[in-house]
Amino acid sequence: MSRRSQHEISVLVPPNLVPLTAADPERVGPYLLIGRLGSGGTGTTYAGVHPTTQGDPLVAVKVLRSPLLESPEARAELNRRLTALAAVDGRVYVPPLAFDTAAAPPWLAMEYASGIPLAQFARQHGALGAGRLAALAAGLAEGLSALHVRRVPHGDLKPDNVLLGARGPRILDCALPGDDEHLRRSAAAWLSPERHAGAPPAPAADIFAWGAVMAFASTGRLPFGLGEPAELAARVAEADPDLDGVPEELLPLVRRALAKDPADRPSVRELLGSTIAAWEASGSASADGVKGTAVTLVLSREWQGVVEPVRLPRVIQLHDGRPRGRGRLPLIAGGGVLAAALLGGGVWAVANTLGDAVGEAEDQATATPSAAPTAEPGTAVVRFVPAEQPAPVEGPWVYTAVERAEATPEADGLLTPEDWSAQWTDAGEEREAVIAPDAEVLCAQFCVPGPGHIDGERGTYEVRGQDFIDYLDWGNVVIAEVEFAEADGGEGPREIVRITELFPAPPE
């Protein structure tokens, strides 16, 4: 993070960050919340920052919402568990950095871990190869070992709680006090027979979950198939798992981990030792002089080709300690390295026919009510919808000419981009445009650069065409006046050379 002024900070945020809703808190403990990362049966996870932290300040803040945590006894047990988890080695497991179990509601903050959930990776790429499986098996075993040495079982190990990052796997989350019934409904495929029978989290149950996760990673299939929780519980207790496709060197260990009787499963130490031994026996143990633990060696040799989602630059404005501007925002300064990475050295403008866009623009200017910003000849007021862009990275970029509705509701507080877009109606068919990476762009809302950046509903904050192109890959709907390059008389497309975003200034 870098501080741009005493009222602004900049931070790299995940591309899947969802804006906060009116019902979401703006601050939890010392953290300013800037978006939603996800939600589940036990609460909602937000992206948050601490304004005074140096380095990367991004954290995941989980707000816990469960009636089972309302009693003092449950809060005390939650505090004991989080205290123990906070002391766990964080190389594989992601422990809490801070928490408050007395808050209403209770919350915990963790390091933001970048990566792709194993469940998503398997859906996109299928089963993992043998070398990467060995690295995953060793990494997860080391993460469980770090938990068990502190006498803390995880209790909820499953593919959704395993992130695959550039440096190896990371284990997220854990079972919280009182959520056993929820887990039996939502994670039935990964719980051991004794957990389905009502037993609390325990190291042996984590070993079973490790075996189920490894079977899934090896085959791309759930080891006990699909079904309702009661059906899965019965299969877990009685049926043999589907292990067809598990590599031969891992098969005996995975089969033992999935034993019905906890006493027949290996310990976490045996799990780790046997995984490394199986990898060494495969003949892949050369690590080219890499020094470190056995897990470091297998990761350095086998963990290749996992590309983390690129985090996007965002400027956060502070006002009385609160963030303002909740959309996902491109960083205007200091983002050159990331912009170069996103560009990949390519040229973004792609040719496509615009037809008689200038003629439409002149009609548009005539039809626009006097209350709306008026387009000059040779320009058009258009709507860009990032979520509907067929080629948001390479282009061409789709737009629709719009005109301001005759009657528009007065804003009740700050408008959202969607509410602003609803005040404009389509005035033509959907078309495609070329946007020059060096086009002039005057930003009003999508980059939220600070006070005084809107003059009469017209943006005044200068950014580049490439910043706008990047925004069309992930941002909110934009209403803008666009100017086209002069036609050269050929049949090729005309490109947009200037963009002025239209958006009302916030109320004083």
List pLDDT tens digits, range 326-364: 333 333 222 332 222 222 222 222 222 223 333 333 343
pLDDT at position 231 is 93
Give the residue range(s) of CATH 1.10.510.10 domains in the chain.
115-310
Average pLDDT on 101-128 reads 91
Give the residue range(s) of CATH 3.30.200.20 domains in the chain.
1-112+311-320
Q: Are 36 and 20 in contact (CB under 8 A)?
A: yes
Q: Does domain 1-112+311-320 have CATH number 1.50.10.20?
A: no
Res 163 pLDDT > 60? yes
Give the Cβ contact number of residue 21 at 10 Å.
9
Strands 8-13 and 2-5, bridge-based pairing: antiparallel
pLDDT at position 487 is 65
pTM of the predicted model, to two decimals? 0.63
Res 431 pLDDT > 50? yes
Average pLDDT on 367-381 reads 56
Nearest to 1 by CA among 59, 55, 60: 55
How much is the mean pLDDT over the chain?
Answer: 81
Residue showing tokens 């068990």: 148
- Residues 6+ positions from 169 with CB-CB distance below 8 Å: 92, 118, 135, 136, 139, 140, 143, 162, 163
Q: What positions carry a catalytic annotation?
A: 156
Res 486 pLDDT > 60? yes
List pLDDT tens digits, range 77-100: 999 999 999 999 999 999 999 999
- Residues 6+ positions from 313 with CB-CB distance below 8 Å: 10, 11, 12, 13, 329, 330, 331, 334, 335, 338
Average pLDDT on 362-382 reads 53
Q: Does domain 115-310 have CATH number 1.10.510.10?
A: yes
